[in-house]
Amino acid sequence: VPKKMRWQMGEQVRGLDSQAESRQQLLQDVADFLRRKAEVEQEYSRGLEKLSERFSAKIRGSKEHQNFRKDQNLPSPLNCWYTILNQTRQASRDHGALSEIYTGHLALRLVHISEDVGRLARKSKEMEQQMQDELLKAISELQMAMKSYQTYRIDCLNAEAKLREAERQEEKRGGGRHSDPGGSPGGAGLDKAPRRTSLKKVERLLEKRQSKFMESKLKCAKARNDYLLSLHAANAAISNYYVRDVADLLDCFDLGFHLSLGKVLRTYLAAESRAQAAWQQGLCTIEGAIDALDPLGDKSRLMEANPAAYCPPLCFDYQPHEGDEVSEVRAEGPLRNELVSRFQHLQSRLNAITLETDEVNKTLKATLQSLVDLLAAEEPEALDAFQGCQSTESLKSTGSDAGGKQALAKRRANQQETESFYIMKFKEYLSGRSIQTKLQAKHDQMKEAIEKGENVGSRLPVWALPQSQRVRRSRPPSCCHHKLFGGDLQAFLESSGQAVPLVVESCIRFINLHGLQHEGIFRVPGSQAQVSEIRNAFEKGEDPLGDGYMHHDLDSVAGVLKLYFRGLEKPLFPSDIVPELLATAQLESSAERISHLRALLSQLPPAVLVVLRYLFAFLNHLSHYSDENMMDPHNLAVCFGPTLVTVPAGQDAVSVQPHINEVVKCLIVHHEAIFPGTSQLPGPQYEKVMALAEEEYWYEGAMGRGWLLVLCLLALPECDSQSETVPRSVSAVQHEERFTPQRVGPVGWRRGERGNNRGLVPPIVLPDREWQLARVKRNC
């Protein structure tokens, strides 16, 4: 996080504190002023002049007065205070009614206002710090996305270097085959078999590295997309915070202060008017100053006076890594279907959060109006001291009327209740608007990328292959004799040789590829029939989630994952360490919690700890998409707390479960600091960016199939234009169930046989330039 931004955030918090202190001091001065004035009422002119001079001198020496004195653009509350002091210099007499009013009602109201200012300042500061924490979290997620992108970019470059090295080796060996054209027939016959074997090895090596390079390139593209989306979301969050949130927080801090102070001063004005009609002209000046109380104007003056603290910083720039020239979100090829699906989920979530935020905003405005009405309501009992006889005894009895105090207490209670509701809705509105801003930034980037992808796809000379059904491939029968669901995890891992159970790895991979943005993942129950079907397939040793996205819904897959952990014979967290886990929730410091959990987890078997590390790394990654899937660490902990940890016997589940959920939340948020790394605990680690296998992309949609057809065409060996049939590609040799491409001419292709399906695909017209480009790429 830039130092300037941190400095700005600190200045904003200190600015709120300074404003609160200034207002508290202002209210204290007013209260002191009224008390002193009540004491010196009988001294008339001399006493009032001294009093006015005392507070005028005090204000002239204040820092706030020095800041605004140059341009005479004083804040409206301070301007009112100046007007009152000037009028006080001319005051020469007063009445006993004024003494009671000053020391009674107005003093109590000033105490209430002071309490309101302190409470609102504290709550506004808490909200400002929370919004700053969310902003820092968005920046932290941006940094994490950038690191992931850099890592996968390096992997892509390494894979490409290895591929080029393999191609050079093949070219050298290809050149060696023609280096001895005059050799003896006998010698050629002896070296023929080893040379073929060597050539096959080189071809297999080249094919393997080609596949690794394509996978690394795809992962790099996905990581880059996540980085760019996080980049735009972070910039949008920063702009939203500095442009709107800061101003709204200042409005929240100002809530009711000007109205309350104005009401006190109006009461003061009414008392002075009744006591001394001769000073009506001077009091009209005070009334004009009170009418000029301007919350918006004061807010503008405050922000203009401190531009260094409230000026939005510069936006983050995209930082390409290791020569990467792509600087925008891409939606071509196999990335398109995933991005379109994510765009649809995000659009639905954006519409919902927009509607929800609008409704909250309407409620907020109505509540604000109610609060304003309460603050601006007249208080007739404030001037009851002037009713009836003006004797001292009568004034005392009138001022001590219990009915007026009860009415004031009732209005006070209503005001605090309405204020609390307003603060709650205001906090909800700020949070919703922040999420809406980030989602809108991602939505715009995705929409632009998809539109560009459509334009690129419409220019591709590719005929989309028909949708074909995949055949589920079962795994070899397991030789282990331990149950998968409802069994002992450690015994199963030792028997099967799997570091992470297939059901866990496959379900997490499926959700990573298709459901990171799925709203309510792990919270919405799936189909019981599909859950049973998937479970039975895993029990048979098959991987039912390898046959594509359309066959299973995400909620059912998530339900299978929770069902597996919930049904283990021995819970992941044994019952003997559960009391220590509950004690962790009582610790205040995050560092203490992390240290305590790290020590507790070290008692678990390494095999179980590997599975836990894999699971919580996935849950942490899933929580990064909480703006879209609404599953933040707290919601995920609520879903997985009862699944992973069993409430000890004899304890109340209702009271214990929140502590368990808090521990699970801590494991999700701080999983990197709690779980040991691969150097300390060898084993598989969860990958944030996963890619479909090559055969899975073949069935991922029309655009994806078109891209693979182009790659298949480019991979075919060069042949004579008059030839009728060309050999099958390497992919066709490896996968018998695929199409066998056949050459009909220089401009078209037809489909071969696949199972019992036969048919022709209309010819693909390739312009001369594209055909030559395809031949050049194929030869390279």
Q: Is the pLDDT of residue 726 over 90?
A: no
440 and 528 inside one domain: no
260 and 132 inside one domain: yes
Mean pLDDT of 355-380: 88
**What total of structural domains would you count in the chain?**
3
330 and 255 inside one domain: no
Residue among 255, 223, 247, 321 nearest 121 (CA): 255
Residue among 540, 529, 526 nearest 472 (CA): 540
Final residue of a structural domain among 643, 674, 705: 674
Phi, psi of 235 (to 5 degrees): -65, -40
Maximum mean pLDDT: which of 233-237, 512-516, 686-690: 233-237
Convert the pLDDT of each residue in 119-165 to its tens digit.
888 898 888 889 989 988 989 989 999 999 999 999 999 999 988 98
Among 137-146, 313-322, 596-605, the least confident range: 313-322
Give me the residue label for tokens 């007007």: 83
Torsion of CA 601, 605, 610, 616, to 10 degrees: -30
Mean pLDDT of 672-683: 90
Share of residues in the chain with pLDDT > 90 (%): 19
Convert the pLDDT of each residue in 186-221 to its tens digit.
444 545 666 678 778 878 888 898 999 999 999 999
113, part of any domain: yes
153 and 255 inside one domain: yes
738, part of any domain: no
719 and 749 in contact (C-beta within 8 Å)?
Answer: no
596, part of any domain: yes
pLDDT band for position 635 (50/70/90)?
very high
Domain assignment of residue 317, given as a range: 312-455
Q: Between residues 725 and 525, which one has the greater pLDDT?
A: 525
691, part of any domain: no
341, part of any domain: yes
Tokens at residue 179, please?
């280096």
CA–chain centroid gap for 350, Å, is 13
| DSSP result, 130-157 | HHHHHHHHHHHHHHHHHHHHHHHHHHHH
Contacts of 603 (CB under 8 A, 6+ apart): 577
User: What CA–CA distance (Å, rounded) separates 556 from 568?
Assistant: 19
Mean pLDDT of 328-332: 80
CATH value at residue 116:
1.20.1270
Q: Is the pLDDT of residue 97 over 60?
A: yes
User: What CA–CA distance (Å, rounded) separates 524 from 349?
Assistant: 15
736, part of any domain: no
Residue among 698, 703, 732, 694 nearest 716 (CA): 732
Q: How many helices (H) and strands (E) does the chain have?
A: 30, 2
- CB half-sphere exposure, 315, CA atoms < 13 A: 14
pLDDT band for position 324 (50/70/90)?
confident
Mean pLDDT of 586-607: 90
Tokens at residue 376, please?
């601006």
Where on the phi/psi map is residue 44: left (φ > 0), alpha (ψ -120 to 50), or beta? left
110 and 257 inside one domain: yes
Torsion of CA 691, 692, 695, 697, to 10 degrees: -100
Torsion of CA 425, 429, 435, 440, to 10 degrees: 150
Mean pLDDT of 332-340: 78
232 and 138 in contact (C-beta within 8 Å)?
Answer: no
- In order of 491, 605, 664, 680, 686, the CA distances from 683 in angstroms are 17, 13, 22, 10, 10
The β-bridge partners of 428 are none
Hey, CA dihedral for 146, 147, 152, 155, is it positive or negative? positive
Q: What is the DSSP letter of 757?
A: B
Tokens at residue 263, please?
């009401």
468, part of any domain: no
CA–chain centroid gap for 367, Å, is 28
Mean pLDDT estimate for the chain? 77
CA–chain centroid gap for 155, Å, is 27
Among 244-258, 433-447, 715-729, the least confident range: 715-729
pLDDT of residue 178: 54
| DSSP result, 29-65 | HHHHHHHHHHHTGGGHHHHHHHHHHHHHHHHHTSHHH
70 and 187 inside one domain: yes
- CB half-sphere exposure, 75, CA atoms < 13 A: 24
pLDDT of residue 777: 43
Q: Is the pLDDT of residue 253 over 50?
A: yes
Final residue of a structural domain among 674, 698, 726: 674
Give me the residue label for tokens 């700890």: 609
pLDDT of residue 44: 66
Among 456-465, 532-541, 696-705, 739-748, the least confident range: 739-748
User: What CA–CA distance (Å, rounded) separates 664 from 655?
Assistant: 16
User: What CA–CA distance (Å, rounded) separates 378 from 103?
Assistant: 19
pLDDT of residue 736: 34
Mean pLDDT of 688-704: 53
- In order of 10, 227, 304, 306, 389, the CA distances from 3 in angstroms are 11, 22, 22, 18, 67
pLDDT of residue 377: 81
572, part of any domain: yes
pLDDT of residue 619: 94
328 and 427 inside one domain: yes
448 and 504 inside one domain: no
267 and 318 inside one domain: no
Q: Is the pLDDT of residue 648 over 50?
A: yes
pLDDT of residue 667: 94
Q: Is the pLDDT of residue 448 over 90?
A: no
User: What CA–CA distance (Å, rounded) separates 219 from 702?
Assistant: 21
Any alpha helices (H) in 603-722, and if so which ranges?
A: 606-623, 626-629, 633-644, 653-669, 671-674, 694-697, 702-715
120 and 211 inside one domain: yes
pLDDT of residue 559: 92
pLDDT band for position 268 (50/70/90)?
confident
Mean pLDDT of 77-103: 77
Q: Is the pLDDT of residue 594 over 60?
A: yes
Among 9-18, 76-85, 280-289, 727-736, the least confident range: 727-736
The β-bridge partners of 474 are 542
User: What CA–CA distance (Å, rounded) separates 449 from 333?
Assistant: 12
Mean pLDDT of 3-23: 88
Phi, psi of 738 (to 5 degrees): -85, 175
Q: Is the pLDDT of residue 731 over 60?
A: no
Contacts of 164 (CB under 8 A, 6+ apart): none
Q: Which helix (H) or strand (E) holds 750?
A: strand 748-750
Q: Between residues 29 and 691, which one has the greater pLDDT?
A: 29
Q: What is the DSSP letter of 742?
A: E
CATH value at residue 625:
1.10.555.10
- Degrees (nearest 5) of the Cα angle 340, 520, 238? 70
703 and 336 in contact (C-beta within 8 Å)?
Answer: yes
Convert the pLDDT of each residue in 279-303 to its tens digit.
777 778 888 888 888 888 888 878 8
Residue among 722, 714, 698 nearest 775 (CA): 714
Torsion of CA 639, 644, 650, 655, to 10 degrees: -30
Q: Is the pLDDT of residue 326 over 80?
A: yes
pLDDT of residue 35: 85
User: What CA–CA distance (Å, rounded) separates 274 from 279?
Assistant: 10
Burial tier of 621 (Cβ tally within 10 Å: 0-12, 13-18, 19+): buried
pLDDT of residue 323: 78
Mean pLDDT of 73-90: 79
Q: Which helix (H) or strand (E) holds 28?
A: helix 3-39
Q: What is the DSSP letter of 285?
A: H
pLDDT band for position 489 (50/70/90)?
confident
564 and 423 inside one domain: no
Share of residues in the chain with pLDDT > 70 (%): 76
Q: Between residues 748 and 661, which one has the greater pLDDT?
A: 661
| DSSP result, 499-521 | SS-HHHHHHHHHHHHH-TT-TTT
339 and 414 inside one domain: yes
Final residue of a structural domain among 261, 276, 291: 276
